[in-house]
Structures are given as structure tokens and as C-alpha cells.
């Protein structure tokens, strides 16, 4: 247990959004923090408490600081910031958590505080633990992510049918590129922002409609942030919620 004076070294709860093994026991973990944004943390003996480094795990880091030489961060002690029992025990919740963490990791830049994304991430942690409508969590998350990043499209003009995710504008059907989102999907994404999960469920979206929103929103965000890369975790969700 930490000594009584360690509270001065505590940061706000951190969220695990990724990590890579380094040797047999060590690991570099990517943490989303409120104070510093995304930071890469050196974990010397990660195999000792592997469950701590599960994507979307909430941790309290004691004396989290960057090395003097820059680069990796270190800490003196860590402990769970939330029990997350349902999330860790239910495979479907964990699969959605892997997806959310992967998307977040692709949106963040190291060392750049992102308080709005941090707040959305903490809300997502709560959804992953307590929301009974698990198949809708990643749908809701993607709509809220687009809004949080300030990328939510305006309403579609009456003479347009698709949204060009690269140009960030509505176009007619004959000018729509391969990965354009339909105006119906964009309208649904706009409606979901701020909507309660129970109301989202009443929309009765089909699996294909949910898929178009999730993948379309991801491609749109990646395009606007100047990034690329396929989602590795989405196929698992397809299998779980088909």
C-alpha cells in the first residue's frame, strides 16, 4: 500500500488504450490521462499483473512522470481506479472495449491533452460496465466521437444524397465515391448524439445500418485527421452481434 503522503503524486484516473510487449516481461503501455493526454508508460514487469493492462482498464497511477531524457513515462505504483467486474468477465463487453480503445488510440497524439476525448472515454468506461444494451455501445461511441472531435456534419441539403468523407461535404449520388456515407446514415449519426441508449434501441437499426455508421464514422475521422489503417477489432464485433 502507498504511504499516506502519496496523494500529491496521484493523477486523475488513467485509461489503457493500447500497448506492446517489450521482451519477455516488460511492456510499453499507452495511457490516456486527463492532465497529459496520451503517454507511453514503461512497465518493467507487466506479466505480474497482466489484467491491469487490459484495454479500457481504469488505473490510478502514483508518481506518473516522464523520464528526464524524454520519451517513456514511469510510475512508482498503480492500482485499479474502478473494479470493472462485468467488463472483465463478459466477453462481449471486453470485445467492445478493445474496439473503443483501438479507435481512441488512432485518434490521439502523444503529449497533447485532450480533455473532451478523456471525458468521452470515461463515459465509455461506464457504458462498458453498466449498459445492458451492449451491441449499441460502439455505435453510440462512434457518433459521440465524431461530435467530440468537432467533425459532426451539418444537415444534408435536399438535393444531395451522400457525404464524401474525404472532402467533408455532401454530394449527389453520381459524384459519391466508394466509401461515401449515405445522408440517411449521417442523419442517424447526428440524431444519436446525446440520445439515451433506450431511445437508440427503439430506432431498430439493422446490422448493416449499424455497420455503415460505425465503419463510415471511423473512415471519416481517420480521413479528417490525416491517418489511415483498418480496424483490427471490428470483425470480432461483427461475429458477436450479427
Q: Could you report the per-residue pLDDT of 123-172, keeping only the tens digit for each?
A: 999 999 999 999 999 999 999 999 999 999 999 999 999 999 999 999 99
Supply 43's cell numbers. 512497465
Q: Where in the chain is the domain with CATH 2.40.50.140?
A: 6-85
Q: Where in the chain is the domain with CATH 1.20.1440.120?
A: 86-227
> How far is 138 from 241, CA to CA, in rounded Å?
11
By C-alpha distance, which of 10, 7, 50, 13 is closest to 31? 13
- Model confidence pTM above 0.85: yes
Query: Residue 6: its pLDDT value, please?
Result: 42
Query: CB of 97 within 8 A of CB of 56?
Result: yes
> How far is 175 from 25, CA to CA, in rounded Å?
52
In the predicted model, what is the mean pLDDT of residues 230-236? Answer: 91
Domain over 86-227 is classified CATH 1.20.1440.120: yes
Query: Topology of domain 6-85, per CATH?
Result: OB fold (Dihydrolipoamide Acetyltransferase, E2P) (2.40.50)
By C-alpha distance, which of 26, 113, 95 is closest to 55? 95
Query: Residue 9: its pLDDT value, please?
Result: 58
Query: Residue 10: its pLDDT value, please?
Result: 60
> Which phi and psi (to 5°) does residue 170 adopt?
-80, 145
Amino acid at each position: 500500500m502507498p504511504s499516506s503522503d502519496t496523494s500529491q503524486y496521484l493523477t486523475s484516473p488513467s485509461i489503457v488504450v493500447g500497448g506492446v510487449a517489450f521482451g519477455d516481461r516488460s511492456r510499453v503501455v499507452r495511457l490516456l490521462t486527463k492532465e497529459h493526454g496520451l503517454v507511453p508508460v514503461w512497465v518493467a514487469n507487466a506479466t505480474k499483473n497482466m489484467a491491469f493492462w487490459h484495454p479500457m482498464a481504469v488505473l490510478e497511477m502514483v508518481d506518473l512522470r516522464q523520464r528526464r531524457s524524454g520519451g517513456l513515462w514511469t510510475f512508482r505504483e498503480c492500482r485499479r481506479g474502478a473494479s470493472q467486474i462485468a467488463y472483465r468477465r463478459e466477453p462481449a463487453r471486453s470485445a467492445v472495449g478493445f474496439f473503443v480503445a483501438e479507435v481512441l488510440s488512432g485518434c490521439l497524439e502523444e503529449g497533447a491533452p485532450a480533455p473532451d476525448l478523456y471525458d468521452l472515454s470515461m463515459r465509455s468506461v461506464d457504458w462498458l460496465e453498466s449498459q445492458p444494451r451492449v451491441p449499441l455501445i460502439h455505435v453510440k461511441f462512434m457518433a459521440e466521437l465524431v461530435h467530440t472531435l468537432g467533425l459532426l456534419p451539418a444537415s444534408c441539403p435536399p438535393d444531395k444524397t451522400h457525404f464524401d468523407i474525404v472532402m467533408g461535404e455532401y454530394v449527389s449520388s453520381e459524384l459519391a465515391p466508394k466509401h461515401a456515407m449515405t445522408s440517411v446514415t449521417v442523419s442517424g449519426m447526428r440524431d444519436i448524439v446525446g440520445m439515451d441508449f433506450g431511445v437508440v434501441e427503439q430506432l431498430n437499426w439493422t446490422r448493416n445500418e449499424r455497420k455503415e455508421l460505425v465503419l463510415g464514422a471511423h473512415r471519416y475521422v481517420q480521413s479528417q485527421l490525416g491517418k489511415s489503417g483498418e480496424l483490427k477489432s471490428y470483425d470480432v464485433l461483427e461475429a458477436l452481434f450479427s
